[in-house]
Amino acid sequence: MLYSDKVMDHFRNPRNMGTIDDADGIGEVGNAKCGDIMKMYLKIDRGIITDVKFNTFGCGSAIATSSMATEMIKGKSVKEALMLSNKAVVEALDGLPAQKIHCSVLAEEAVKAAIDNYYEKNPESFREDLFRLEDDEDSCSSGCGGCSGCGGF
């Protein structure tokens, strides 16, 4: 199993590892088959992710994908973070072995779970962000204006 230099770098020198005590959103996901567990912490100010941290219990690929995902969403809007895909994480790491792709899926799911938790705690922000999404013609093909699984609310 060969790993890219980026995967090895993010595994050996993970970015944004840790916790945020007063996090605005926390998401935890896991994979029962491999035992990987990821926990993401978000600090959000006016719709922008100002800080993000993670704790991951898992293999090198799980740590690397968590680290890369945090790098990709830090400083971005919540809307942009919701569009993060596991494919984008894999591409940013210059690839992963096929049997480790599930780690990138966990990273995507952890980010989205943390955002869901933020919206549960701050329903007014959900409505504000939804209106911002509706103003963006490129946000979604369903016509509702958002692609975060909102059900068209």
- The pLDDT value recorded for residue 127 is 64
Residue 31 has pLDDT above 70, yes or no: yes
The phi and psi torsions of 59 (rounded to 5 degrees) equal -75, 175
pLDDT higher than threshold 70 for residue 137: no
Concatenating the DSSP letter of every residue in 26-80 gives EEEEE-TTT--EEEEEEEEETTEEEEEEEEEES-HHHHHHHHHHHHHHTTSBHHH
What would the pLDDT profile of 92-120 be if each residue is shown by its tens digit?
A: 999 999 999 999 999 999 999 999 999 99
> How distant, in Å, are the alpha carbons of 7, 24, 69, 126, 145 from that of 78?
25, 12, 13, 10, 14
Instruction: List CB contacts of 54: < 8 A, sequence separation 6 or more.
Output: 14, 16, 17, 18, 38, 39, 40, 41, 66, 67, 69, 70, 110
Instruction: From 20, 10, 31, 38, select the one nearest 112 (Cα to Cα).
Output: 38
> What's the pLDDT at 45?
94
Burial class (CB in 10 A: 0-12, 13-18, 19+), 44: buried
pLDDT at 149 over 50: no
Residues serving a catalytic function are 34, 103
Domains with residue ranges and CATH for the chain = 5-134 (3.90.1010.10)
pTM: 0.82
Q: 57-66, 103-112, 126-135 — which is least confidently predicted?
A: 126-135
